[in-house]
Chain A
Amino acid sequence: MSSDAISARGDLRLTRITKSYGEFKAVDDLTLTIPKGSFFALLGPSGCGKTTTLRMVAGLEEPTVGSIHLGDTDITTTRPYQRPINTVFQNYALFPHLTIFENIAFGLRRRGVKDVKEQVDKVLNLVELPHLAGRKPTQLSGGQQQRIALARAIVNRPALLLLDEPLGALDLKLRRQMQIELKWIQREVGLTFVHVTHDQEEAMTMADTIAVMNEGKIEQMGSPADLYDNPQTAFVANFLGQSNLIKGKIDGSDGDNLVVDLYGQKVSMPKKRSHAVDSSLYAGIRPEKFRISLLGTPVKGNTLTGGRIEDVSYIGVSTQYVVAMPWGQELMVFEQNDDGVPPFDKGDEVLISWEPSFTFGLRGDEDIEAGTEVNPEDLEEE
């Protein structure tokens, strides 16, 4: 416990953190470094331990095992009010008895800052709500409350800003707008943002680094593009977007590529994109990477023959096809509608092709349903 924790700055380091509630481990041996100045997202389904992790960083929970450092300062057991960390709470937790001005001034007054008025006005301008200073929180719309909650936190210029599902209570359109705004504000104020969400699109839009959490552990960490293009586990492949995972066997190699046998048809993929540990693997291809051609058309790259269009859904910008393969699997294909009308109909015999370098390989013993389950709690929050 350090008395000068309040002035600590630097990277946030979680070292071998475990949080147990009786038998249940909400967070399980988690190690994580969040670089200063980054916009970091902890992404995962309800109950994956992301909120518990955030609360331990805020000081609202104490880890059962492990330590938390901010720069060189150990803050594992520092009280929340002694940490240079502020939180934007889910549902905002604004003080209903105080005006918007006093809500924002709360942290400044506690620290005995001199120019309260000036700083509050500045941050109210930043969130573009200077005219609301005299109102009470209940007189504000959800989107306005959200911005005030953000203003109340960033006005303190914390070393770390925590956002706990900050946009969960907003409707879809407002949420998209706030995502862009939050990102802009983060760049403007240059603080480290740690954002917890179950919404993969939200995480991908805003964060520069995403840690995907599942059952108290980090499944994979990286940039949004990394995670999407080269997922290492079925959970990540399914939780971030959709994936076609086809069971196969490694059947030799060819330079930097592996030759993979998918139900008797040979395809290739880059060696470095395979996470298989033995010869069995799942070949993963994102639906928009597939191309559909009528049988007999010459194509480049990997091909799979014997498909039949099972379903066509026209959704304006693209068309989604379900293609039934001879081995009984249905593959999902997204095609851009750059030529207007979707060119294929239900029942067409087609072949599917794709660029080999887009393939990723997962271990053959993965549960390919992982991360696809829709959590009823997540639906409620939508």
Chain B
Amino acid sequence: MTFPKVRVPYLLLFPGFAFLFTFFILPIVNLAQTSTQTPVKGGDTGQYEQKFAFGNYITAFTENREQFARSFIFASFATVLALAIAYPLAYAIAFKAGKFKNILLVLVVAPFFTSFLLRTIAWKQILGEEGFVVPGLRSLHIIGQQTTLTSTSIAVVAGMTYNFLPFMTLPLYASLERIDPRTIEAAGDLYANGITAFRRVTVPLSMPGVVAGTLLTFIPAAGDYVNAAILGSPNTKMIGNVIESRYFKIVDYPTAAALSFTLMAAILILVTLYIRKTGTEELV
């Protein structure tokens, strides 16, 4: 069977388009409609009609400014921490692991064999009174004898850092592994000491991995609600938690939809600025 050459790309694109149209475009249009609905006067809870009430966005944002800010602060901390942990790890796997390379890579993705939820609940145990972290830190007098870690911002950020670490490590590894070690040798040959060679050659050449890894960590972290729900307290609520409770508890669909759109827009703007700033479009 032969196809005219021009049609082949479209045929190949069709399944993807069909899938995205059904499960992304349509729901998002639906979500956009919902975000401007208002309650039916005298109707039941959860009954809304289309009114193009764009004021929903303003109320939704002003009522939840604090949670928005917290989402981006937590996500930023988690991203920076994940980068600080993942870069040396990915570097070691790419350049120093030798025959253990594949084993280490399997270990990096091994957490995915267990559910995200279970792993987060496990962190509750680890950071709890009965775990070894809190008594350990107490006996070293790093934290006070009464201080706890569960239900704190630290616990939420720690949980997010842990959960998104593989998303940071893998792209970093991929771009470090692609670096020709001879370019690093060449830097040494051209009077750069280890630190300078790292700063001037290794880091710039790994930027595509840094950008991909930080985006893959920051974006889901900013919208995450599981870590805050399980490891946090009402005082550490993130915007994801607000959206979740608006949808499922208060049944306030318009506000939840408006918050979702605001979150998407905010992330889109931040990501665009970030990619502009790092100037790595051509490398990604």
Shortest Cβ gap from A29 to chain B (Å)? 26
Neighbour of A107 across the interface among B182, B190, B193, CB < 8 A: B190
Q: Which residues of A contact B188 (CB under 8 A)?
A: 59-60, 79-81
Q: Which residues of A contact B189 (CB under 8 A)?
A: 58-60, 80-81, 85-87, 89
Contact across chains for B186 and A81 when beta carbons are under 8 A apart: no
Please indicate which of the listed interface residues B185, B191, B197, B204 has the most CB atoms of chain A within 10 Å of its own CB.
B191
Shortest Cβ gap from B161 to chain A (Å)? 29
Instruction: State in angstroms the CA–CA spacing of A91 and B180 once bound together.
Output: 10
Interface of B is mostly: helix
Residue B192 lies at the interface, judged by CB distance under 8 Å to chain A: yes
Q: Interface 1/0s, chain A 180-197, versus B by CB < 8 A?
A: 000000000000000000
Count of A-B residue pairs with CB < 8 Å: 64
Neighbour of B186 across the interface among A79, A85, A87, A111, CB < 8 A: A87
Contact across chains for B190 and A152 when beta carbons are under 8 A apart: yes
Contact across chains for A110 and B191 when beta carbons are under 8 A apart: yes
**Chain B residue with minimal CB distance to A111?**
B191
**Chain B residue with minimal CB distance to A98?**
B204
Instruction: State in angstroms the CA–CA spacing of A63 and B47 once bound together.
Output: 81
Residue A95 lies at the interface, judged by CB distance under 8 Å to chain B: yes
Residue B89 lies at the interface, judged by CB distance under 8 Å to chain A: no
Shortest Cβ gap from A194 to chain B (Å)? 14
Within 8 A of A (CB), among B179-204: 180, 182-183, 185-193, 196-197, 200-201, 204
Residue B205 lies at the interface, judged by CB distance under 8 Å to chain A: yes
Within 8 A of A (CB), among B150-207: 180, 182-183, 185-193, 196-197, 200-201, 204-205, 207
Q: Which residues of A contact B193 (CB under 8 A)?
A: 79, 81
Interface size on A, residues (CB 8 A): 24
Within 8 A of B (CB), among A175-216: none
Contact across chains for B201 and A95 when beta carbons are under 8 A apart: yes
Q: Interface 1/0s, chain B 59-77, versus A by CB < 8 A?
A: 0000000000000000000
Contact across chains for B182 and A89 when beta carbons are under 8 A apart: yes
Neighbour of B190 across the interface among A60, A79, A110, CB < 8 A: A110
Instruction: State in angstroms the CA–CA spacing of A121 and B207 once bound together.
Output: 29
Shortest Cβ gap from A5 to chain B (Å)? 12
Contact across chains for A89 and B185 when beta carbons are under 8 A apart: yes
Neighbour of A93 across the interface among B182, B191, B192, CB < 8 A: B182
Instruction: State in angstroms the CA–CA spacing of A110 and B50 once bound together.
Output: 66
Instruction: State in angstroms the CA–CA spacing of A58 and B180 once bound together.
Output: 18
**Chain A residue with minimal CB distance to B282?**
A136
Neighbour of B192 across the interface among A60, A81, A86, A90, CB < 8 A: A81
Instruction: State in angstroms the CA–CA spacing of A93 and B192 once bound together.
Output: 15
Within 8 A of B (CB), among A138-173: 152-153, 156
Residue A106 lies at the interface, judged by CB distance under 8 Å to chain B: yes
Instruction: State in angstroms the CA–CA spacing of A328 and B278 once bound together.
Output: 74
Q: Which residues of B contact A153 (CB under 8 A)?
A: 190
Q: Which residues of A contact B205 (CB under 8 A)?
A: 95-97
Q: Which residues of A contact B180 (CB under 8 A)?
A: 91, 93
Instruction: State in angstroms the CA–CA spacing of A111 and B189 once bound together.
Output: 12
Q: Which residues of B contact A156 (CB under 8 A)?
A: 190-191
Within 8 A of B (CB), among A59-92: 59-60, 79-81, 85-87, 89-91
Q: Which residues of A contact B204 (CB under 8 A)?
A: 97
Q: Which residues of B contact A95 (CB under 8 A)?
A: 183, 186-187, 201, 205
**Chain A residue with minimal CB distance to B280?**
A97
The 5 closest A-B pairs by CB, nearest first: A107-B190, A110-B191, A93-B182, A93-B186, A80-B188
Question: Measuring CB to CB, which residues of chain B are less than 8 angstroms from any residue of chain A?
Answer: 180, 182-183, 185-193, 196-197, 200-201, 204-205, 207, 283
